[in-house]
Amino acid sequence: MASTTAAPRTPDRLSARERLLAAADELFYEEGVHTVGIDRIIERAGVAKASLYNTFGSKDELIRAYLEGRHKARQDRITRFISRYDTPRERLLGVFDGLAAFAAEPGYRGCAFMNASAESLPGGPVEEVSDESRAWGRALFTELAQAAGVADAAGLAAQLLLLYDGAMVGARMDRTAATGLAARAIAETLLDAAPKAQS
């Protein structure tokens, strides 16, 4: 009986959209969303210029798709990383362990959303997707703080998000993943000092 399993997608078999997104993900993250022109992206992707416009309509929409992909990858990475921990406290602190692991990867260049925002004017796709990503991070920290029994979970979440942001910048600027571990220690202090909800 013949197998119905689809063959794995090789680079030669990727769609034009997939190849454009892969090229954009690499080049935009390494060099910047406005520094890299569309000619470099289509050359790296090995597609015709018309493919970019037929698929995305504009460079701005390609940037949006790139950042949406980065947001989804961040969600998946953090969710997968903290799922290894057993308690709410460990999961909350595990977000910073995950940051340290990500910052230790070759090619780490900081936060894709901060980098793109620094290059972009207010409004537009960069701000929209960055706002979505930050809202998710804030909600995650709030949920984890609530599960850990913190009375003012939203207040602690705001502090932790600020700490997370600073750790990403520090890891990039100092070229060390140790920044994530230092942030974890600060997060632990904040968590321990936070008033607990009445049971």
pLDDT in tens, 59-94: 999 999 999 999 999 999 999 999 999 999 999 999
- Domain count of the chain? 2
Contact between 67 and 144 (Cβ < 8 Å): no
| pLDDT band of 9, cuts 50, 70, 90 | low
The 10 Å Cβ neighbour count of residue 49 is 12
User: Domain check: are 113 and 83 in the same one?
Assistant: yes
44 and 70 share one domain:
no
Do 97 and 167 fall into the same domain?
Answer: yes
**Could you tell me what percent of the chain has a pLDDT over 90?**
92
For the CA atoms of 130, 131, 133, 137, the dihedral, rounded to the nearest 10 degrees, stands at 130
Query: For residue 4, what pLDDT is reported?
Result: 46
Contacts of residue 175, Cβ cutoff 8 Å, sequence gap at least 6:
none
CA distances from 154 to 40, 106, 110, 191 (A): 43, 34, 25, 12
Question: Do 186 and 112 lie in a common domain?
Answer: yes
User: For the chain, what percent of residues have pLDDT higher than 70?
Assistant: 93
Tell how far CA 100 is from the center of its chain.
13
pLDDT band for 138, please (50, 70, 90 cuts): very high
Above 50 in pLDDT, residue 163? yes
Same domain, 33 and 92: no
What is the tens place of the pLDDT at every residue in 170-196?
999 999 999 999 999 999 999 999 999
Mean pLDDT score of the chain: 93
Residue 6 lies in a domain: no
Provide the residue range defining the domain that includes 113.
66-193
pLDDT in tens, 30-54: 999 999 999 999 999 999 999 999 9
